[in-house]
Amino acid sequence: MGYWIKLTAVCLTLAGVALIGWAVFLPASHPALERAGLLGPMRSIGLPIPDADNGTGNAGRGGFGGGGVAVIVQEVGLDDAGRQLVAIGTSRADRSVSLTSEVSGTLVEVNVASGDYVEAGTIVARLNADAQELALARAQLALRDAQARVDRVAQLQNSGSASQVQIDDAELALNRANLDLRDAEFELSRREITAPISGWIGLIDLEIGNQITTNTELARLDDRSVLRIDFDVPERVVGLIGPGDDLTASPLSRPRDMLQGTVLATDARVAQDNRALRVQAQVPNDDDRLRPGMAFRVALDLPGESLPLLDPMAIQWNRNGAFVWALDAENAVQQVRVEVVQRRDATVLVRGDLEPGMLVVVEGVQNLRPGATVAPREVRRSDGRPRLDTETAQADDPSPEI
């Protein structure tokens, strides 16, 4: 029984010594000891506990000596808490046409192969045009005959042997022959299927000798040098997206291929069935690796509210949440509650009672308490670099006089 009494006494003695040492040599412990009701009794029995209630004279290093706590501080910056909108869209060619014939007939010539690139105006295919060629030859012959008649009448007119009626009839016949020739040339041209735009020919399923009509598609012609992507965004972002906005797009089949694109246009109204707004964007396809119809993941950065920008080292935590040590005009620090909104690589955006240009402690927070005076030995700008107008503080302990 006596052994346990002695052991308990030794433990209590050691705990008391530890509390006394904690109070004497670590001023940061004073708030906790005061909440526990121990700081006052310790002072009352004459223990050499520094009185640092005003945070001016004894809040220095180790709780003794003059001056404030040596710290490194940083200016509070300001930046937008951007949001990223992600959507899935489907691509299509910048321009796409279906190659069809204006008339029905027999396919007699195909001048391209599947996958070929053709320039605008290239004759892709021809239909049987025997009847049209005969009509063209007749029209040319009729035109020559009408021109010869006009020439004869003109000679007779010079000699006074031709009447005005004969002259008018000859000129009318010449005009009619010209119109017949143009009509024959037009009918012959309709037997040719030409490329209206430059682009790549799709698969050609027809063969020479096939009968085609005006509804028969010979092939699809796509200009895919630029791809357009159609995607939907929720109505809550209406007004935040507009033509010219930058975006990033990547094919779902190759997520590592990141393409920089722009918004071309937005729809005039929100769809009532899904409460979404249709957006059209474009991305380059210079190497021709992408195809119309592919699915894309589209990401846009939307503007957000401006928030204080801090170094992550300035954020401290206690049972009430996150806070920072902010300096006032007299270099006294106070706890300012903050809410972490967005974490970045080297900075963090918070929401709290902080203004741009305010100073917060980023290093040396171990010995701080509310109201304590600090001595900044380095002031950093909001980007983390030292501020040029700040002088490096001298060492905490002055050199002894000789």
The pLDDT of residue 29 is 65
> Residues 297, 325: one domain?
no
Whole-Å CA distances, 144 to 149, 151, 183, 197: 9, 11, 16, 37
In what order do the strands lie in the sheet containing 123-127? 192-194, 123-127, 105-110, 211-212
Q: Which residue has the higher pLDDT, 19 or 69?
A: 69
Around 47, how many Cα atoms within 13 Å sit in the side-chain half-sphere? Answer: 18
Does residue 323 belong to any structural domain of this protein? Answer: yes
Q: Which residue has the higher pLDDT, 37 or 370?
A: 370
Point out the least confidently predicted range of 144-158, 186-200, 356-370: 144-158
Choose one of 302, 335, 359: the last residue of a domain: 302
Q: What are phi and psi of 343, to 5 degrees?
A: -100, 135
Q: Are 302 and 85 contacting, i.e. CB atoms less than 8 angstroms apart?
A: yes
Q: Which residue has the higher pLDDT, 68 or 292?
A: 292
> Residues 238, 285: one domain?
yes
Q: Which residue has the higher pLDDT, 290 or 46?
A: 290
Q: Which residue has the higher pLDDT, 29 or 70?
A: 70
The pLDDT of residue 44 is 64
**pLDDT tens per residue across span 324-361:** 999 998 899 999 999 998 888 788 889 999 999 999 99
- For residue 295, pLDDT beyond 60: yes
The pLDDT of residue 47 is 62
Does residue 64 belong to any structural domain of this protein? Answer: no
- For residue 60, pLDDT beyond 50: no
> Residues 236, 293: one domain?
yes
pTM tops 0.85, yes or no: no
The pLDDT of residue 49 is 65
**pLDDT tens per residue across span 234-257:** 998 888 888 999 999 999 999 889
- For residue 176, pLDDT beyond 60: yes
AA letter at 6:
K
Does residue 315 belong to any structural domain of this protein? Answer: yes
Choose one of 267, 302, 337: the last residue of a domain: 302
Does residue 107 belong to any structural domain of this protein? Answer: no
Q: What are phi and psi of 357, to 5 degrees?
A: 95, -15
Choose one of 254, 287, 302: the last residue of a domain: 302
Q: CATH number for the domain including 89?
A: 2.40.30.170
Q: CATH number for the domain including 154?
A: 1.10.287
Point out the least confidently predicted range of 115-119, 191-195, 229-233, 398-402: 398-402
Does residue 386 belong to any structural domain of this protein? Answer: no
Q: What is the dihedral of CA 243, 246, 251, 252, to 10 degrees?
A: -90
The pLDDT of residue 123 is 93
Q: Which residue has the higher pLDDT, 301 or 56?
A: 301
The pLDDT of residue 400 is 37
Rounded to the nearest integer, the mean pLDDT of the chain is 83
3-state secondary structure the chain: CHHHHHHHHHHHHHHHHHHHHHHHHCHHHHHHHHHCCCHHHHHHCCCCCCCCCCCCCCCCHHHCCCCCEEEEEEECEEEECCEEEEEEEEEEEEEEEEEECCCCEEEEEECCCCCCEECCCCEEEEECCHHHHHHHHHHHHHHHHHHHHHHHHHHHHHHCCCCHHHHHHHHHHHHHHHHHHHHHHHHHHCCEEECCCCEEECCCCCCCCCEECCCCEEEEEEEEEEEEEEEEEEHHHCCCCCCCCEEEEEECCCCCCCEEEEEEEECCCCECCCCEEEEEEEEECCCCCCCCCCEEEEEEEECCCEEEEECHHHCEEECCEEEEEEECCCCEEEEEEEEEEEECCCCEEEEECCCCCCEEEEECCCCCCCCCEEEEEEEECCCCCECCCCCCCCCCCCCCCC
The pLDDT of residue 81 is 72
Residue with tokens 């709780």: 63
**pLDDT tens per residue across span 115-166:** 999 999 999 999 999 898 999 999 999 999 999 988 888 887 777 776 777 8
Does residue 114 belong to any structural domain of this protein? Answer: no
Taking every pair of Cα atoms in the chain, the longest distance, rounded to a whole number of angstroms, is: 161
The pLDDT of residue 56 is 37
Point out the least confidently predicted range of 123-127, 149-153, 261-265, 396-400: 396-400
pLDDT category of residue 402 using cuts at 50, 70 and 90: very low
- For residue 291, pLDDT beyond 80: yes
Q: Which residue has the higher pLDDT, 400 or 370?
A: 370
Whole-Å CA distances, 147 to 138, 154, 161, 179: 14, 11, 19, 13
Q: Which residue has the higher pLDDT, 264 or 46?
A: 264
Residues 8-18 have a mean pLDDT of: 70
> Residues 227, 296: one domain?
yes
Q: Are 208 and 107 contacting, i.e. CB atoms less than 8 angstroms apart?
A: yes
Domain around 368: 69-80+306-380
Looking at the structure of the chain, the number of domains it has is: 4
> Residues 227, 295: one domain?
yes
